[in-house]
Structure 1
Amino acid sequence: MQRLIIMRHAQAEKSAPGGDIDRPLSKHGRHDARAMGRALAERGLRPDTALVSSARRTHQTWDEVSEAMGDVEVHLSPALYNASSDVLRRAVEAAEDTAGCLLLVAHNPGVHQLAVEYLIESAASPGVMDKMSGGFPTGAAAIFTVDVAGRPTYEGWLTPQDLEK
């Protein structure tokens, strides 16, 4: 794997009859997810593999993002639903030999914790750490370059709010 994109699902509705796992994206969330897909693709960040939580909002986020991505191998996983950073890391590591660019679409706090762990491990600058200290908003993506030893290094940060500016 040469690149890793860690993305939080886009904004979801507050509730759903089937409970948290069934919460759909809001209209705003669908718009943000489509915009993030276009923005990632325009920057040459097109995954060949996507690991996506099986929750409705993450699956819908992927559906909107994928419109700009072309052919991507997608793996929906119940294990990624509200997963800890350790579970997310193991999923990333399991896919690292088969993906050139991997996109992980999951939930907070796991995605935020995983991104911060990678920043700490790669000795990211204080300015980069500050960017991530404010949290991981819905629809945001942290982008990492991965070296030959499998160590992610911070490459960029993109949020739907950045695209509105």
Structure 2
Amino acid sequence: MKRLILVRHAKSSWKYNVSDKERPLKQRGVDDALLISKEFSGKGIIVDAVYTSPAKRAHTTCTIFKQNLNWPSSKIEIVDDLYDFGGESVIRYINNLSDSLNTVAIFGHNHAFTTIANQMGDKYIDNLPTAGLVLIKFNVDSWKYAKYGQTELIMFPRDFRP
């Protein structure tokens, strides 16, 4: 069995005159990433590896999860192919993961993540919001066969805000 955790980066700021890759998180983004990562930590899911887009907003979201879930830095890798908005590069990356990994978390972008969640999972999601998380389980032994799975968990910040 393979499990894929997709986390869309948290809400970013357009306030600064920086490149797309350098856009930081807004305070609401930080708060939402903290909220979802704390809620997710209570699920008891052990992650074998974590991959993040090099974009600052995705990497910062990943760092917030790392801190709340006590992931060692050695588990996290920045991957240029995850700076993808269509999804083809992300799917190719997933299908080439090492079969020694059973549960993997990927931090990245929309529209790619909504498309992938709907293509690979069995529950339709209209839009994966910022800081949203989807976990999809595949009954396969190799990532190359991870095409259609069961959506096991969906977490949106709005569902956990007070």
TM-score, normalising length: structure 2: 0.87
Matching of residues 38-49 of structure 1 within 5 Å: 38-49=38-49
Query: Which of these residues, 76, 89, 92, is aligned with residue 90 of structure 1?
Result: 92
1:96 deviates by 4.6
Q: Which amino acid aligns with 2:10?
A: A
Q: Does 1:105 align with 2:107?
A: yes
Instruction: Provide the rounded CA distance (Å) in 2 between the counterparts of 1:115 and 1:63.
Output: 22
Q: Does 1:138 align with 2:130?
A: yes
Displacement over 6 Å in runs of 4+:
none
Q: In the alignment, is the contact (CA less than 8 A) between 1:48 and 1:71 conserved in 2?
A: no
Gaps of 5+ in 2: none
Aligned in 2, Cα 1:83/1:164: closer, same or farther, shift over 3 Å?
A: same
Of the structure 1 ranges 5-14 and 92-101, higher mean CA displacement relative to structure 2 is found in 92-101
- Matched residue of 2:68: which SS? coil
Query: Which of these residues, 56, 62, 78, is aligned with residue 76 of structure 1?
Result: 78
Gaps of 5+ in 1: none
Q: Which amino acid aligns with 1:27?
A: Q
1:51 deviates by 1.1
Matching of residues 139-154 of structure 1 within 5 Å: 139-149=131-141, 150-151=145-146, 152-154=149-151
Structure (1 or 2) with the greater helix fraction: 1
Q: In the alignment, is the contact (CA less than 8 A) between 2:84 and 2:90 conserved in 1?
A: no
Q: Corresponding residue for 2:52? A: 52
Q: In the alignment, is the contact (CA less than 8 A) between 1:35 and 1:65 conserved in 2?
A: no
Q: Which amino acid aligns with 1:160?
A: P
Q: Does 1:160 align with 2:157?
A: yes
- Matched residue of 1:68: which SS? helix
Instruction: Provide the rounded CA distance (Å) in 2 between the counterparts of 1:163 and 1:98.
Output: 33
Residue-pair matches, total: 155
Aligned in 2, Cα 1:114/1:69: closer, same or farther, shift over 3 Å?
A: same
1:15 deviates by 4.4
- Over aligned residue pairs, what C-alpha RMSD do you find? 1.7
Q: In the alignment, is the contact (CA less than 8 A) between 1:47 and 1:69 conserved in 2?
A: no
1:14 deviates by 1.4
User: What percent identity do the matched residue pairs reach?
Assistant: 22
Matching of residues 2-81 of structure 1 within 5 Å: 2-72=2-72, 73-81=75-83
